[in-house]
A = this chain, B = another copy of it.
């Protein structure tokens, strides 16, 4: 939220440092093929460096978001996930069978046609729910 209205002083750092933990977490998201939850990212980071705390993961994720490296992905019913920004425009498919989140490239047109008069759209999220190829059979 805004940083200028809170009396909290919010001492914004004047420079960002490169740290071992930060780079590990960055790598975890870069290597991930799908959006990760903070917990998943933490587990993966722990496999590389067994001392990273969950608080560091959260703080680093938030820093990465401000930095523009990560973007939040909210899947209804599941906690917030995060993914590295960079690919082309895409959406998500959540499999109710295995719980995995798939990235779906592309986008249906006509989205802005839904917009009521006078409204301004800055962004849109589409999440499909169902069964992925592996889970569809059952």
> Could you list which residues of chain A lie within 8 angstroms of chain B, going by C-beta atoms?
72-77, 80, 91, 93, 96, 102, 104, 106-111, 113-133, 136
Copies of this chain, complex-wide, total: 2
Tell whether A114 pairs with B119 under 8 Å between CB atoms, given A72-B76, A127-B124: no
Nearest chain B CB to A107 CB, angstrom units: 7
B129 touches A124 (CB 8 A): yes
Nearest 5 Cβ contacts at the A-B interface: A74-B76, A118-B133, A108-B110, A121-B130, A122-B130
Query: What are 22 sample pairs from A and B whose C-beta atoms fall under 8 A apart?
Result: A74-B74, A74-B77, A91-B114, A93-B119, A96-B122, A106-B114, A108-B110, A108-B111, A108-B113, A109-B110, A114-B128, A118-B136, A120-B130, A120-B131, A122-B130, A123-B128, A123-B130, A124-B126, A124-B127, A125-B126, A125-B127, A126-B126
In Å, the complex CA distance between A129 and B132 comes to 27
In Å, the complex CA distance between A128 and B119 comes to 10
